[in-house]
Amino acid sequence: MNTIGQNIKKYREQRKMSQQELALKVRVGTATIQKYESGEQIPDTQTILKLSTALDVPASELMEQEVSNSSGLDPEIEYLIKEIGIKRAKLILRKAKEFSEEDFLRVMQMLYEIKYNQSQTE
C-alpha cells in the first residue's frame, strides 16, 4: 500500500529530480524530504500543496493509496468502515465529496491540529 512518502518519492523519481532539488523548490531541508519519503514524518497541508506544485501532480494523488484487493476497496478502508460503522462512514463520505481539494486539505489539517492540541493539554 502506498503512503504519501512513497508517492512523493515515486513522482520525484519520475521527474528525475533529486531530493535536494525538490527540497529547494519546496523550501525545506533535504533531510525533511528524506523523512517524508521514509514515512518518518508527514508533511502538513501547506507543504503537501507546495510538493504537489513542485512535482506537478495533484495533491490528491500524493495522498492516494493503492487499492490492493479483488473487491476494489482498500483493506484499510474496509477496516475503518467496520470500526466507525456504516452510518458514520456514509455521513463522512457524503460530506467529503462536497469539498474541493483545498477544503479537504484544510479540514484534514484542522483535525490534525485538534488531535495534536488535545494530546498536548492532557
Which phi and psi (to 5°) does residue 42 adopt? -110, 130
Query: Angle at which helices 30-38 and 19-26 pack, to 10 degrees?
Result: 110
**What is the residue-level pLDDT of the chain in tens, covering all 122 positions?**
468 999 999 999 999 999 999 999 999 999 999 999 998 999 998 999 999 999 999 888 888 765 444 456 777 787 788 888 888 888 888 888 888 888 888 888 888 888 888 655 55
Give the Cα separation of 99 and 110 in Å (integer): 14
Angle, CA 51 vertex, CA 107 and CA 110 arms, to 5°:
15
Domains of the chain and any CATH numbers: 4-63 (1.10.260.40), 75-121 (no CATH)
- This prediction's pTM: 0.55
pLDDT reported for residue 17: 96
Beta strands in the chain (DSSP E): none
